């Protein structure tokens, strides 16, 4: 199980990235997300080493986790940004990314937001010609269009973003017309993009999808005489979440992509960059979410109650996602139990894991939920007025708080009670 790579046991204590999980949980309380800087850096190194340095650019899809401390680590490592909207662009700029390191890939945004993104000077990757038309009168200097190459693959239907029925991108014929329109509007710096799905562990899919995409891009480039400045193959590189899953073979994947690039030499001129924009691969395994068992009950089904709800980790309720869970202080417990791991939210979908086998746990015990670095905190909410998790970063044998736990006041700040509805004596919420 690769996902245990970053755990050690020393004197009976479970360590993550060299630090004692129980001790950190006592100090900071739970639910607690613990990130490791060294794991993030290792993931970035692996991706960068898999491709030739020249004419390759790694962008981080910040929707996976936009904690500014994490963005800052990635900026220091020379990684660029894939942003989904104006706020993501603004946060990337605030954390020090230069505008030439940011590509915005919005979809279905209102025209005024697109115009504001344009004013920041970043490249915009338009999802459709209808989005480009909203800024065609004064277009960005560099743009690309998102192609739907007619195929997609994701771990779940909700994370499959190419092929039939996908809300993203344009089919090749529509893209050809879109590039014509963009050129007529005076845009000369052009790229091309696809993103077909998330958490893919099969190198063959990347072989097939990049081959199809490069062939479409090459045809557009020939027909319109375009030399693309970049060819962006999106993200989607998977990490294992289940016991029987192997890590993505990055060497094989990159070899397939490089092979396909060689077959489309006309597309990849010496001035054309290959761009990749993974989110999950860079941060997923860099964090664990630590929760404490609160209480248990066993009637028709064994329920292991914890302080972590679906407001903090929504992926199991949203997609049926599975996150590995390991006991922290009961790691060596010989007794096992079967049951659902549930949280404090008033929904029956508030199940972090269903029907799993785990070492027998008692109230007060700690569990570690793995792969908590991607699409956990960025998808979390304050449903039921529950705080989001506190987040800390392990960095060079020091630990730093990188997100405080919400207090009630933090969650109330934007609410206003009109004067005439206020309770007597109330000054503020």
Ligand X SMILES: Cc1ncc(COP(=O)(O)O)c(C=O)c1O
Is 198 near ligand X (CB under 6 A)? Answer: yes
Where do the H-state alpha helices sit in 32-145?
A: 37-49, 68-76, 86-94, 111-120, 129-133
Is 279 near ligand X (CB under 6 A)? Answer: yes
State which H helix or E strand residue 183 sits in.
helix 172-184
Q: Are 202 and 253 in contact (CB under 8 A)?
A: no
CA distance 178 to 220: 10
Give the closest residue to 338 by CA, choosing from 349, 347, 325, 348.
325
| Shorter beta-carbon distance to ligand X: residue 14 or 64 | 64
Is 195 near ligand X (CB under 6 A)? Answer: yes
Q: Count how many residues are written for the chain.
A: 429
Is 191 near ligand X (CB under 6 A)? Answer: no
| Shorter beta-carbon distance to ligand X: residue 28 or 375 | 375
Among 140, 152, 236, 240, binds ligand X (CB under 6 A): 236
**Subset of residues 94 to 123 that bind ligand X, contact rule: CB under 6 A:** 105
Pairing of strands 366-369, 287-298: antiparallel
Is 327 near ligand X (CB under 6 A)? Answer: no
Stretch that binds ligand X, among 49-57, 194-202, 306-314, 421-429 (CB under 6 A): 194-202
CB of 61 to ligand X, least distance (A): 3
Is 64 near ligand X (CB under 6 A)? Answer: yes
Task: State the residue number with the nearest CB to ligand X.
Answer: 235
CB of 63 to ligand X, least distance (A): 6
Dihedral in degrees, nearest 10, Cα atoms 36, 41, 44, 50: -120
Q: Which residues contact 53 (CB under 8 A, 6 or more apart)?
A: none
Is 240 near ligand X (CB under 6 A)? Answer: no
**Subset of residues 33 to 52 that bind ligand X, contact rule: CB under 6 A:** none
Residues in binding contact with ligand X, number by CB under 6 A: 17
Q: Are 390 and 399 in contact (CB under 8 A)?
A: no
Among 33, 61, 83, 151, binds ligand X (CB under 6 A): 61
Stretch that binds ligand X, among 18-26, 31-39, 273-281, 341-349 (CB under 6 A): 273-281
Is 155 near ligand X (CB under 6 A)? Answer: no
CB of 273 to ligand X, least distance (A): 16
Is 235 near ligand X (CB under 6 A)? Answer: yes
Is 373 near ligand X (CB under 6 A)? Answer: no
Dihedral in degrees, nearest 10, Cα atoms 283, 372, 63, 254: 40
Q: What 3 state SS string does 188-247 have?
A: CEEEEECCCECCECCHHHHHHHHHHHHHHHHHHHHHHCCCCCEEECCCCECCCCCCCCCC
Is 127 near ligand X (CB under 6 A)? Answer: no
Stretch that binds ligand X, among 8-16, 193-201, 338-346, 357-365 (CB under 6 A): 193-201
Among 75, 101, 118, 280, binds ligand X (CB under 6 A): 280
CA distance 10 to 413: 44
| Shorter beta-carbon distance to ligand X: residue 105 or 308 | 105
CB of 82 to ligand X, least distance (A): 5
Where do the H-state alpha helices sit in 225-371?
A: 250-263, 280-283, 315-319
CB of 160 to ligand X, least distance (A): 10
Q: What tokens appear for 133 in the block? A: 């038309």
Interface with ligand X (CB under 6 A): 61, 63-64, 82, 105, 195, 198-199, 234-237, 277-281
């Amino acid at each position: 199980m690769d996902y245990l790579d970053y755990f050690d046991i020393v004197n009976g204590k479970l360590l993550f990235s060299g630090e004692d999980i129980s001790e950190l949980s006592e100090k900071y309380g739970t639910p607690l997300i613990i990130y490791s800087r060294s794991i993030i850096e290792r993931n970035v190194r692996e991706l960068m080493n898999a491709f030739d340095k020249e004419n390759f650019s790694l962008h981080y899809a910040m929707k996976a986790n936009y904690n500014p401390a994490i963005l800052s680590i990635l900026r220091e490592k020379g990684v660029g940004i894939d942003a989904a909207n104006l706020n993501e662009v603004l946060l990337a700029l605030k954390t020090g990314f230069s505008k030439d390191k940011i590509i915005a890939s919005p979809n279905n945004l209102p025209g005024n937001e697109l115009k504001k993104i344009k004013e920041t000077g970043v490249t915009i990757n338009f999802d459709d010609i209808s989005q480009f038309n909203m800024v065609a009168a004064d277009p960005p200097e560099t743009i690309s269009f998102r192609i739907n190459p007619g195929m997609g693959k994701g771990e779940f239907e909700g994370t499959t973003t190419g092929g039939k029925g996908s809300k993203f991108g344009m089919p090749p014929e529509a893209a050809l017309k879109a590039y014509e329109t963009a050129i007529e509007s005076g845009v000369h710096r052009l790229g091309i993009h696809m993103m077909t799905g998330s958490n893919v562990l099969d190198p063959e899919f990347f072989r097939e999808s990049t081959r199809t995409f490069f062939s479409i891009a090459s045809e557009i480039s020939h027909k319109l005489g375009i030399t693309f400045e970049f060819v962006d193959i999106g993200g989607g590189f998977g990490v294992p979440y289940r016991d029987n899953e192997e890590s993505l073979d990055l060497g094989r994947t990159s070899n397939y992509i490089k092979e396909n690039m060689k077959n489309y030499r006309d597309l990849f001129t010496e001035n054309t960059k290959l761009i990749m924009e993974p989110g999950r691969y860079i941060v997923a395994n860099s964090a664990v979410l630590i929760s404490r068992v609160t209480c248990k009950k066993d009637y028709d089904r064994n329920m292991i109650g914890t302080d972590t709800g679906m407001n903090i980790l929504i992926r199991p309720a949203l997609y049926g996602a599975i996150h590995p869970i390991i006991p922290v202080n009961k790691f060596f417990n010989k007794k096992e139990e079967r049951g659902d791991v549930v949280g404090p939210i008033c929904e029956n979908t508030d199940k972090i894991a269903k029907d799993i086998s785990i070492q027998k746990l008692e109230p007060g015990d700690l569990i570690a939920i793995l792969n908590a670095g991607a699409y956990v905190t960025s998808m979390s909410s304050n449903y039921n007025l529950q705080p989001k998790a506190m987040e800390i970063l392990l960095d060079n044998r020091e630990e730093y708080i990188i997100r405080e736990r919400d207090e009630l006041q933090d969650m109330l700040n934007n609410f206003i009670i009109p004067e005439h509805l206020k309770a007597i004596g109330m000054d503020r919420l």
